Structure 1
Amino acid sequence: METRVSDCPLGAKCEELKIEDGKPILYRCPWYVQIRGVDTNTGQESDTWGCAIAWLPTLTINAANESRKGVAATESFRNEMVKQGAQTQQVLLVAAQSANRKPGIKSLEQADICE
């Protein structure tokens, strides 16, 4: 089966060379954009011109991947803060117990604070 690219749904041409006043002028559709970046599959730099409408699925997938990375970094940071909060709470508890020592109450040892 043969595959062909159909005409622009907006009725435009991506690039069209016209002669005006004896000078060549290149008319470019505003949706015809240059995308530069690194191909995540091959790791090679990419520099491609194409229709912005055609790029939308690729850019949406890329945005979702970047968002996922941000969520993972935030979750990792949150877990570290929870761990440090628990350690700080243990230190404060030992400090309070040592300041208010009463007979018959066991205080936490330093080994209980540090892992």
Structure 2
Amino acid sequence: METRVADCPLGAKCEEVKTEDRKPILYRCPWYVQILGVDTNTGRESGAWGCAIAWLPTLMINTANESRKGVAATESFRNEMVKQGAQTQQVLRVAAQSANRKPDIKPLEQADVCE
């Protein structure tokens, strides 16, 4: 089966050269845009022209991927904060226990607390 690209649903041409006052003028549809980026497979910068409407699915997939990266970074940050919170609680427990000791008990040396 043969596949062909249909005409623009807006009835426009992406680019069209018209002659005005004997000069060629390039008319470009406002939806015809250049997308610049880095090819994830090769790592090289690339740029391609196309209809913004046609680019929407690709851009939506890219947005979803970037969102996933942001969620992963937030989760990693949260895990680090939980770890640090637990360490802080442990230090506070040791400090509270030291403050509640009877004066006849020798206080811990710094070398005893920090290994």
Listed as ranges, the matches of 1:1-115 within 5 Å are: 1-102=1-102, 110=113
Cα deviation for residue 51 of structure 1 reads: 0.3
CA distance in 2, matches of 1:61, 1:77: 25
SS in 1 for 2:83: helix
Aligned length: 107
SS in 2 for 1:3: coil
CA distance in 1, matches of 2:113, 2:70: 37
**Which deviations, in whole Å up to 9, do the C-alpha atoms of 1:54-76 show, x marking residues without a partner?**
00000000000000000000000
Q: Which amino acid aligns with 1:38?
A: V
TM-score (norm 2): 0.86
SS in 2 for 1:60: helix
Q: Which amino acid aligns with 2:36?
A: R
**Which deviations, in whole Å up to 9, do the C-alpha atoms of 1:56-114 show, x marking residues without a partner?**
00000000000000000000000000000010011011001011115xxxxxx848xx8
* % identity of equivalent residues: 86
CA distance in 1, matches of 2:44, 2:90: 50
Cα deviation for residue 45 of structure 1 reads: 1.9
CA distance in 2, matches of 1:101, 1:61: 61
TM-score (norm 1): 0.86
